[in-house]
């Protein structure tokens, strides 16, 4: 989509000889435009929820909320969090998170150890006795990479077949958790956590844990939750920065040619339906950049009309 967007933007700008934007500038505007539209999805989603509550929205093809959910869910990621310091109850959130939706606590540790033999996609630990405690569906986490997989079958007391090959290096540690004892960790505001921990009825427990967020670090309560891979997050990540890549230019004044196979190529992550919005947004930035108020004005008017239509 990114090439199509760039061509359209350039076509509009060149039509009246408004100017030209370089690939580097385009990539900057494209990033900003994508972030703008990405954020708008959350506001649009809220508007749709309010409309539903007022009985002003339909079902089936008229279910706009469902469409918005699908787009937002395409940015949903699940990841086991990294512990800040061993045996503490603090964990780091991923650098690309936009919104933490849920935190989970793996409350029942079934087994742990180290891999003694590599065989994809298996977990082999010569010192283990998996037959007694492990069942298909239980969750295996690599303590080094935080990668996780599910147990597909218990082949022998020392061997499990996993849903993914998460062990690539001999001697890596692992933990196996019960898949039936996941607890949601609730976010609590900083100014509430003191009251919460002081109250007999609401003090966080391993059944009802809580966390507070400061910076990129979460602190989980009760502090007995301090295992290396105890906490998993389901979050919405930022979209990757779009990058229109091109072949090396031979002549100084020649037009760069799009290279879809470049290693750093990155298309927009928004759905195709957002192409007009991206073009409008990029034109706005370009209009400001080349000091063409007319371009900016037209793009803004177009956006306003679209907003009215979508409401």
* Interface size with other proteins, residues (CB under 8 A): 18
Residue 200 as a binder of other proteins (CB under 8 A): the answer is: yes
Interface with other proteins by CB under 8 A: which range of 29-37, 201-209, 260-268, 275-283? 201-209
Question: Cα 86 to the chain's mean position, in Å?
Answer: 26
Strands 97-106 and 182-187: antiparallel
Beta bridge pairs of residue 218? 91, 213
Shortest spacing between CB 241 and other proteins, in angstroms: 32
Shortest spacing between CB 50 and other proteins, in angstroms: 9
**Binding marks (x or -) toward other proteins, 204..243, rule CB under 8 A?**
-xxxx-x---------------------------------
Shortest spacing between CB 184 and other proteins, in angstroms: 7
Q: Which residue in the set 4, 202, 266, 289 belongs to the binding site for other proteins (CB under 8 A)?
A: 202
Residue 188 as a binder of other proteins (CB under 8 A): the answer is: yes
Residue 283 as a binder of other proteins (CB under 8 A): the answer is: no
Neighbours of 134 (CB within 10 A): 21
Residue 270 as a binder of other proteins (CB under 8 A): the answer is: no
Shortest spacing between CB 202 and other proteins, in angstroms: 5
Q: Which residue in the set 3, 25, 36, 52 belongs to the binding site for other proteins (CB under 8 A)?
A: 52
What's the N-to-C CA distance of the chain in angstroms?
26
Helix, strand, or coil (residue 31): helix
**Touching other proteins, residues 127-186 (CB under 8 A):** 180, 184, 186
Shortest spacing between CB 84 and other proteins, in angstroms: 24
Residues 6+ apart with CB under 8 A from 236: 72, 75, 76, 77, 97, 98, 99, 101
What DSSP assignment string belongs to 65-120?
A: HHHHHHHHHTTEEEEEPEESSTTSSEEEPPTTEEEEEEEEEE--EEEEEE--B--T
Interface with other proteins by CB under 8 A: which range of 121-129, 153-161, 202-210, 241-249? 202-210
Residue 53 as a binder of other proteins (CB under 8 A): the answer is: yes
CB-nearer residue toward other proteins: 153 or 205: 205
Residue 25 as a binder of other proteins (CB under 8 A): the answer is: no
Q: Which residue in the set 196, 213, 290, 298 belongs to the binding site for other proteins (CB under 8 A)?
A: 196
Shortest spacing between CB 51 and other proteins, in angstroms: 11
Shortest spacing between CB 191 and other proteins, in angstroms: 13
Instruction: For CA atoms 43, 45, 48, 54, give the dihedral sign.
Output: negative
Shortest spacing between CB 17 and other proteins, in angstroms: 50
What DSSP assignment string belongs to 219-277?
A: EEESTT---TT-EEEEEEEPPPPPB--BPPPSSTTSPP-B-TT-TT-B---S-GGGHHH
CA distance 255 to 251: 9
Q: Which H helix or E strand runs over 183?
A: strand 182-187
Q: Which H helix or E strand runs over 33?
A: helix 23-53
Residue 261 as a binder of other proteins (CB under 8 A): the answer is: no
Interface contacts to other proteins, rule CB under 8 A: 49, 52-53, 180, 184, 186, 188, 196, 199-203, 205-208, 210
């Amino acid at each position: 989509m990114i090439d199509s967007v760039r061509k359209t933007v350039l076509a509009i700008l060149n039509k009246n000889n408004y100017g030209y934007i370089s690939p580097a500038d385009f990539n900057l505007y494209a990033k900003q435009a994508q972030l703008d539209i990405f954020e708008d999805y959350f506001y649009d989603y809220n508007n749709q929820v309010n409309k539903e509550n007022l009985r002003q929205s339909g079902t089936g093809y008229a279910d706009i909320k469902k469409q918005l959910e699908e787009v937002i869910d395409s940015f949903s990621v699940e990841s086991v969090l990294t512990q800040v310091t061993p045996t503490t109850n603090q964990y780091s959130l991923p650098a690309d998170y936009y919104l933490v939706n849920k935190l989970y606590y793996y409350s029942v540790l079934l087994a742990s150890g180290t891999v003694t033999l590599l065989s994809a996609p298996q977990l082999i630990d010569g010192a283990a006795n998996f037959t007694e405690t492990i069942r298909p569906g239980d969750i295996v986490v690599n303590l080094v990479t935080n990668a996780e997989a599910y147990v597909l079958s218990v082949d022998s007391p020392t061997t499990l077949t996993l849903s993914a090959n998460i062990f690539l290096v001999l001697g890596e540690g692992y933990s196996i958790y019960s898949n039936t004892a996941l607890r949601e960790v609730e976010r609590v505001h900083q100014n509430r956590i003191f009251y919460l921990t002081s109250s007999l009825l609401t003090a966080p427990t391993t059944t009802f844990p809580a966390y507070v967020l400061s910076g990129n670090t979460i602190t989980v309560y009760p502090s007995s939750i301090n295992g290396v891979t105890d906490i998993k997050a389901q979050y919405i990540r930022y979209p990757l920065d779009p990058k229109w890549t091109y072949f090396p230019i031979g002549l100084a004044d020649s037009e760069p040619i799009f290279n879809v196979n470049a290693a750093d190529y990155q298309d927009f992550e928004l759905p195709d339906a957002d192409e007009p919005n991206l073009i409008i947004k990029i034109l706005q930035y370009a209009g400001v950049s080349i000091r063409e108020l007319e371009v900016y004005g037209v793009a803004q008017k177009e956006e306003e009309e679209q907003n009215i239509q979508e409401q």
